[in-house]
Amino acid sequence: MGSDYGLENHGLVNPGHVFWNASTPVLYEEAVRRREGSISHLGPLVVRTGHHTGRSPDDKFIVREPSSENDIWWGSINRPIEEHQFEMLFNHLRSYLQGRDLFVQDCYAGADPQLRVPIRVITEHAWHNMFVRNMFIRVLDPDELIAHRPQFTVLNAPSFHAMPEVVGTNSEAFIVVHLARKLILIGGTSYAGEIKKSVFSILNWMLPKQDVLSMHCSANIGPDGDTAIFFGLSGTGKTTLSADPERHLIGDDEHGWGSEGVFNFEGGCYAKVIKLDPEAEPEIYACTRRFGTILENVAIDFNTHHVDLDDDSLTENTRAAYPITHIPNAILDGRGGHPQNIIMLTADAFGVLPPVARLSPEQAMYHFNSGYTAKMAGTEKGLGREPKAVFSACFGAPFMPLPPTTYAELLGEKIRRHNVKCWLINTGWTGGPYGVGHRISIADTRAIVKATLNGDLDGVPYQRDPVFGLDVPQSCPGVSGEVLSPAQTWSDRQAYDHQARQLAADFRSNFEQYAETAPAEIVAAGPAG
51 is known as an active-site residue? no
Which of 59, 112, 252, 253 is labelled catalytic? 253
Q: CA 278, CA 275: separation in Å to the nearest integer?
A: 9
95 is known as an active-site residue? no
Which of 178, 238, 381, 421 is labelled catalytic? 238
* Closest by Cα among 379, 242, 273, 332 to 40: 273
Q: CA 161, CA 92: separation in Å to the nearest integer?
A: 9
Q: CA 180, CA 64: separation in Å to the nearest integer?
A: 10
* Closest by Cα among 492, 505, 372 to 432: 492
275 is known as an active-site residue? no
SS3 153: strand
Which of 79, 125, 216, 247 is labelled catalytic? 216
416 is known as an active-site residue? no
Which of 218, 234, 240, 379 is labelled catalytic? 234
Q: CA 176, CA 156: separation in Å to the nearest integer?
A: 11
464 is known as an active-site residue? no
430 is known as an active-site residue? no
String of b and e for 97-128 (b: at least 16 CB within 10 Å)? beebebbbbbbbbbbbeebbbbbbbbbbbbbb
Q: CA 89, CA 99: separation in Å to the nearest integer?
A: 18
The answer to whether 258 touches 219, Cβ cutoff 8 Å, is no
SS3 167: helix
Could you tell me what percentage of the chain is helix, strand and coil, using 3-state DSSP and rounding each to the nearest 5?
30, 25, 45
Phi, psi of 416 (to 5 degrees): -70, -40
DSSP class per residue in 369-433 = HH-EEEEPTTSBTT--SS-EEEE-GGG-GGG--S-HHHHHHHHHHHHHHHT-EEEEEE-SEESSS
Q: Please give the sequence-ordered ranges of beta strands (E in DSSP) within 60-212, or none if there are none.
A: 60-64, 79-82, 102-109, 117-123, 137-138, 152-157, 174-178, 183-187
- CA angle, residues 278, 280, 233, in degrees to nearest 5: 110
Which of 10, 52, 55, 326 is labelled catalytic? 55
Cβ neighbours of 386 (radius 10 Å): 12
The answer to whether 195 touches 399, Cβ cutoff 8 Å, is no
Cβ neighbours of 212 (radius 10 Å): 20
Q: CA 373, CA 377: separation in Å to the nearest integer?
A: 13
319 is known as an active-site residue? yes
Give, as one character, the DSSP assignment of residue 54: S
DSSP class per residue in 457-481 = TSSS-EEE-TTT--EEES-BTTB-H
149 is known as an active-site residue? no
Which of 52, 197, 272, 338 is labelled catalytic? 197
String of b and e for 49-83 (b: at least 16 CB within 10 Å)? beebbbbbbebbbbbbbeebeeebbeeebbbebee
Which of 120, 148, 196, 319 is labelled catalytic? 319
- As annotated, the active-site residues are 55, 197, 216, 234, 238-239, 253, 319
